[in-house]
Amino acid sequence: MSDRYGRPLHPPEERETVFIEKRLVSSAHGIFIPQIFVAQTEKLDRVPNWAWKSCLEGPSAPSGQDDYFDSWSEILDTYEYTSTGVGGSVERYFLDYDEGDLCLMREIVEPPNYKDQ
């Protein structure tokens, strides 16, 4: 919509900078999502060993579900890396949920600079 002079009534929306890179584990796996994720993924150095081990043992481990979900929370907080994308953009990858599915997300932290090319 615009006013009578053709100017937009609302400020333009900012472009989305966070994208789903890949769906990793379906929501159908419920409380086993953390266990499945760590079993099929390589651990990053920044993720604590104790958290990775606890999730690998699963929710029925002797340590209990509280430790399992605390460990999963720690993994969600620390599983992150950056890379250089097209045009020299800086992109951050991290874990998040989308409609219950665990996804690897990609965020454009620094947009590409095409002026140098």
pLDDT digits (tens, 9 = 90+) for 31-60: 999 999 999 999 999 999 999 999 999 998
Q: Please tell me the pTM assigned to this model.
A: 0.78
Which helix (H) or strand (E) segment holds residue 99: the answer is: none
Q: How far apart are CA 94 and CA 55, in angstroms?
A: 18
Q: Structural domain boundaries of the chain?
A: 18-112
CB 88 within 8 A of CB 112: yes
Q: Which pLDDT tens digit goes with each residue over 84-106?
A: 977 788 999 999 999 999 999 99
- Residue labelled with tokens 């890949």: 22
